Amino acid sequence: MAKTPQAIRGTQDIFGADAEAFAFVLETFERVRKLYRFRRAEMPVFEKTEVFARSIGETTDIVSKEMYSFEDRGGESLTLRPEFTAGIARAFMSNGWQQHAPLKLATHGPLFRYERPQKGRYRQFHQIDAEILGAAEPQADVELLAMADQLLKELGIKGVTLHLNTLGDGDSREAWRAALVDHFRAVKSELSEDSQERLEKNPLRILDSKDRRDQKFVADAPKIDQFLSDDARAFFDAVTSGLDAAGVKWTRAESLVRGLDYYRHTAFEFIPDEGSEAASKLGSQSTILGGGRYDGLMESLGGAPTPAVGWAAGIERLAMLVGEKSDPASDLIVVVEDDDRIAEAFGVLKRARSEGFTAEMISGGSPRKRYDKAVKRAPKVILSLQRDMGHSVSHDNLDEPVLSAITAYS
RNA sequence: GCGAUCGUAGCUCAGUUGGUUAGAGCGCCGGUUUGUGGUACCGGAGGUCGCGGGUUCGAACCCCGUCGAUCGCCCCA
């Protein structure tokens, strides 16, 4: 006997209540993105490796270690998409979507990262994603965040706050970065081992270190505000005042950073409040929706400079927060207590479904136990077809609309 | 890549200092009871105790390895 194959590490089979919650997230996203007039797009799940390598920057070990890359038969290196943004940027450039700018896009689907699975983190996971391409003005950031905020509210997720920061424009960002390196280099030997390494590779990341030894130096580290140009400051002010006007609550998060160089200005994450139910459900993977402005990305992919801003959110994480979504009960269950009446049951089912009612049949197992099975599934109406052409209809509500589909039996 | 915990029926779990034929609940199948009925009872199928070595007269239990899961660290586009 062949051994039963196992699922790939970090993949999941989603079913039942989890699948219902997953679907609920998608349905809500689809509804809300229409309210904000974001247009749907579908992208390939794989691209030439360079699409992601160049967007992410070849330096980090993300490229070498964390991506699912492989060679196709022509010897070209391809990669399963680890994020949406790079592929969308590529599509924007290769299809001439500049003509639609400013272009508001929404998409969703599976993404792949070669990581150690843990709570809320899988190798194949799923995100919803929203981007505004070719929009330089801060209103775009506000629009995007207002949609995110409304989405979370409509999902019924509570105890989550928008953490907001600015990375400034290119010059501000560089000046800040240099000041941070100076600041931390001065105390290098007192930093955690991890942060000593970050100092060389990704100094901004020291700011969100979890290590106690780093925290005191983080507290008095230089702030981006000292380095903001007038334009950058005005941009951030426009974003925050726009959020206030749109009724989106936010909090300033001076340590919230993005490691990659193409990020400019706004960076944000929706994070559960400490001690909240949402926080405990998510474990250490706390960000449920994150994004920012990436004005420098298109250039690094060889295109014309194109301002853009976007966010993505993990569907699995959102699904963990939306509460129990059980499979909904059917409107009608037809119980066949006499096997000679199966054909009749099919007729009834066809009628009910044509009229838009959910309906199913129970005709298996011991005839005496079929009715009980139907009762356990708690449908709105049970029609049982019994021996000798008898029947019964049971329901709690005389006005139940589905009764109209089975008038012959009422 | 690193660490901790875990791995017994389809599911949730018991399994006593290692001791004979490995258990329960739920679910599933069949039957009895009820007969407009979500009840109760009886019976049944289903497990080489993740896998491979080792210690022992004897291992689900102890040791080593391996695979997998969970949670955390690193990373987080």
CA of A349 to C1' of B49 (A): 46
- Domains in chain A, number: 2
Residue A400 structural domain: 332-409
Q: pLDDT at residue A58 above 70?
A: no
CA of A194 to C1' of B3 (A): 16
Residue A241: the pLDDT is: 98
The CATH number assigned to the domain holding A354 equals 3.40.50.800
pLDDT single digits (tens) A184-198: 999 999 999 999 999
The CATH number assigned to the domain holding A240 equals 3.30.930.10
Q: Which of residues 234-273 of A touch strand B (CB under 7 A)?
A: 258-260
Q: Do A271 and A136 fall into the same domain?
A: yes
Q: pLDDT at residue A62 above 80?
A: no
Residue A345: the pLDDT is: 92
Is A44 a member of any domain? yes
pLDDT single digits (tens) A146-202: 999 999 999 999 999 999 999 999 999 999 999 999 999 999 999 999 999 999 888
Instruction: Report chain A's mean pLDDT, rounded to a whole number.
Output: 91
Is A366 a member of any domain? yes
Of all nucleotides in the shown strands, which has a C1' nearest the CA of A10? B69
Is A363 a member of any domain? yes
Residue A1: the pLDDT is: 43
Q: Do A387 and A245 fall into the same domain?
A: no
Report the pLDDT averaged over residues A50-66: 73
Report the pLDDT averaged over residues A67-77: 92
Which of these three, A296, A321, A346, is where a domain ends? A321
CA of A321 to C1' of B8 (A): 33
Of all nucleotides in the shown strands, which has a C1' nearest the CA of A285? B76
Residue A52: the pLDDT is: 92
- Asked if A115 CB < 7 A from strand B, the reply is yes
Q: Do A284 and A138 fall into the same domain?
A: yes
Is A211 a member of any domain? no
Q: pLDDT at residue A49 above 60?
A: yes
Q: Do A164 and A264 fall into the same domain?
A: yes
Q: Do A50 and A81 fall into the same domain?
A: yes
**Could you give the percent of chain A with pLDDT greater than 90?**
68
Which of these three, A321, A352, A377, is where a domain ends? A321
CA of A128 to C1' of B68 (A): 30
- Asked if A210 CB < 7 A from strand B, the reply is yes
Is A203 a member of any domain? no
ipTM given for this complex = 0.87
Is A243 a member of any domain? yes
Residue A152: the pLDDT is: 98
Q: Do A362 and A284 fall into the same domain?
A: no
Q: Do A135 and A160 fall into the same domain?
A: yes
Residue A221: the pLDDT is: 94
CA of A214 to C1' of B15 (A): 48
Q: pLDDT at residue A64 above 70?
A: no
Is A210 a member of any domain? no
Q: Which of residues 130-169 of A touch strand B (CB under 7 A)?
A: none
Q: Do A317 and A343 fall into the same domain?
A: no
Q: Do A147 and A256 fall into the same domain?
A: yes
Report the pLDDT averaged over residues A310-315: 97
Mean pLDDT lowest among A7-16, A63-72, A163-172, A299-308: A63-72
CA of A373 to C1' of B43 (A): 20
- Asked if A211 CB < 7 A from strand B, the reply is yes
Which of these three, A293, A321, A349, is where a domain ends? A321
pLDDT single digits (tens) A357-380: 999 999 888 888 888 888 888 888
Provide the positions of strand B that have an atom within 7 A of a protein CB: 1-3, 28-39, 67-77
Q: Do A96 and A28 fall into the same domain?
A: yes
Question: Which pLDDT band, with edges at 50, 70 and 90, does A403 fall under?
Answer: confident
CA of A9 to C1' of B68 (A): 9
- Asked if A48 CB < 7 A from strand B, the reply is no
Helix axes A49-56, A85-94, angle to 10 degrees: 110
Report the pLDDT averaged over residues A272-278: 90
Q: Do A248 and A381 fall into the same domain?
A: no
Is A184 a member of any domain? no
Q: Do A370 and A250 fall into the same domain?
A: no
